[in-house]
A and B are shown apart, each in its own frame.
Chain A
Amino acid sequence: MGNDIKTGIYLCTCNGEIDKVIDVDSLAKEASEWPGIITVHKDAFLCSDDAIRKVREDVKEFGLDRILIAACSPFFKAEEFSGLGINKYLVERVNIREQCSRVHSNDPENATKKAKAMLRVFLEKVKYSHPLQLLQLPSLRSALVIGGGVAGINASIDIAGTDNEVFLIEKNPFLGGRVAGFHKYFPRMCPPSCGLELMFSKIKSNPNVHVLTSSEIDTISGSPGNFEVLIRTSPRYVNEVCVLCGKCLEVCPQNAVVYPEGFSYPGIPAINRELCAVDCNKCAEICPVDAIDLDEDVKVNNIKAGAIVLATGWEPFDPAPITELGYGRLENVVTNMEFERIAKKQKTFFDKPKRVAFIQCVGSRDERYLSYCSDVCCMVSIKQALFLKETNPDNEVYIFYNDIRTPGEYEELYQKARKAGVIFIKGIPSELKQSEPGKISFSVFDTVAGERLDITTDMVVLATGMKPSQGTIDLKDKIGIALNKNNFIESHIQCYPQDTQRNAVFSAGCCRAPMDVSRSIESAGTAAIKTLRFFNNCIEITPDNPIVNTLKCDVCKRCIEECPFKAYFFDEKGFPKSDIMKCRRCGVCMGGCPLAAISLGELSIEQLSEMIDAFDRAYLGEDEPVILGFLCKNDAYRAVDDAGLKGIKYPPNFLGIMVPCAGAVNGAIIAKTISAGVDGIIVAGCPDNQCHYVQGSRLAKARLTDISNKLREMYLEPERVRFISISRDESERFTEIVKEYVEELKKMGRNPLRI
Chain B
Amino acid sequence: MPPYVVKDKCDGCKGKEEPLCEQICIGDLMTLDTETGKAYCRSLRDCWDCMSCTKLCPKGAIEQRIPYQLGYHGAKLIPMMGTDSITWTCVDINGKVERFTYRTRNKK
Contacts and interface: CB of A to CB of B under 8 A. Distances in A.
A753 B99 contact: yes
B26 to A, nearest CB: 14
Central interface residue in A558, A599, A707, by most chain B CB within 10 Å: A558
Contacts of B99: 714, 752-753
A666 B14 contact: no
A130 to B, nearest CB: 12
Contacts of B14: 557-558, 561-562
Interface stretch (A248-256, A318-326, A602-610): A602-610
Central interface residue in B63, B83, B84, B89, by most chain A CB within 10 Å: B83
Interface in A706-755: 706-707, 709-710, 713-716, 752-753, 755
A135 B34 CA distance: 44
Contacts of A557: 13-14, 16
Contacts of B89: 713-716
Interface of A: 549, 552, 554, 556-558, 561-562, 592, 594-596, 599, 604-606, 608-609, 666-669, 671-676, 706-707, 709-710, 713-716, 752-753, 755
B59 to A, nearest CB: 5
Given A596-B106, A605-B108, A672 B60 contact: no
A609 B84 contact: yes
B20 to A, nearest CB: 5
A562 B11 CA distance: 13
A556 B82 contact: no
16 contacts: A554-B23, A554-B24, A556-B16, A558-B58, A608-B83, A609-B107, A668-B82, A672-B83, A672-B84, A676-B82, A706-B9, A706-B58, A713-B60, A714-B87, A715-B97, A716-B89
Given A549-B108, A556-B20, A714-B99, A667 B58 contact: yes
Contacts of B60: 706-707, 709-710, 713
Contact of B83 (A556, A592, A596, A715): A596
A612 to B, nearest CB: 8
Nearest to A707: B60
Given A554-B24, A561-B14, A671-B80, 13 more contacts: A592-B58, A594-B20, A594-B56, A604-B108, A605-B83, A674-B87, A675-B82, A675-B85, A675-B101, A710-B60, A710-B78, A714-B78, A714-B89
Interface string B37-81: 000000000000000000011111001000000000000101011
B23 A713 contact: no
B24 to A, nearest CB: 8
A710 B107 contact: no
Contacts of A552: 106
Nearest to B60: A710
Contacts of A556: 13, 16, 18-20, 23
Contacts of A594: 13, 20, 56-58
A668 B81 contact: yes
Contact of B87 (A562, A609, A675, A706): A675
Contacts of B78: 710, 713-714
B91 interface: yes
